[in-house]
Amino acid sequence: MPKRSGFQSSIQEFLTKSNVEILGELTKFQEGSVETTQRDA
């Protein structure tokens, strides 16, 4: 089954991650480019 979530962690782990780490995880399997306007929204 394909992975449906872009980011998955416990609340505790989420609270300790930086924005860059979370963004990296969300875009890891992104198809195509990540537009600046979407990334910074």
Using one digit for the tens of pLDDT, what is the confidence trace for 1-19? 666 677 888 999 999 999 9
pLDDT, position 33: 74
User: Is the model more confident about 27 or about 13?
Assistant: 13
User: Is the model more confident about 12 or about 28?
Assistant: 12
Taking all residues of the chain, what is their mean pLDDT, rounded to a whole number?
Answer: 81
Residues 6+ apart with CB under 8 A from 13: none
- The pTM (predicted TM-score) of the whole model is 0.59
Angle at 27 between CA 26 and CA 31, to 5 degrees: 130
Identify which of 1, 7, 41 has the alpha carbon closest to the alpha carbon of residue 26: 7
pLDDT, position 2: 62
